[in-house]
Chains A and B, each alone.
Chain A
């Protein structure tokens, strides 16, 4: 079974609108972390936001917020007030267990923001 599932291969949003990118995860660990990264066409991986499994409040970073629903094992990314520069590939990722370990990535969602 896939550990990270992103069901939206592509999403379209108009500039200044909000958009939600879906992510569900599967783990039996009690301690884990969830991440969202943005990958523009240049290829670099840009960290956006992090949610720890024990964090009670949803993470927020500027225009990015993570809608963490632990019982449903979902960690959707919400981008408010979309900008043209937000057009990129977005990856949800999970780190299992404590300490620093590898990330498991979803297949990604391509977001296109139109004027």
Chain B
């Protein structure tokens, strides 16, 4: 089946630094990928839709300058948390799907970000 790989799975960074999270579709081309954020014991909240070759579409309330999304190829989308602060600590997870394949969205393994 389709596989989405997300890296890193865990990262600890100092406040004020930037962190890049990668999301790769391993065996299919994903023109659209989605980035979600999940706080402890809560549901997944969509942050943005990443479109290959164009600007990402951000959900209301998500700072586009803080959460930079780049979808440079059909198999790779990156989320960069810029000038991270402790309140950015969260679980970030990406998903992608095949337009010509099964209905389900395939999720990466997720990245647990801790900002200290």
Contact = CB atoms under 8 A, between A and B. Distances in A.
Interface of A: 33, 35, 37, 42-45, 47, 50, 52, 91, 95, 99-100, 102-108
Given A43-B91, A43-B110, A50-B104, A102 B99 contact: no
B81 interface: no
Contact of A106 (B34, B43, B91, B109): B43
B45 to A, nearest CB: 8
B107 interface: yes
Most B-side CB within 10 Å, residue of A43, A95, A106: A43
B93 to A, nearest CB: 7
A100 B93 contact: no
Given A100-B99, A102-B34, A107-B42, A43 B109 contact: yes
A107 B43 contact: yes
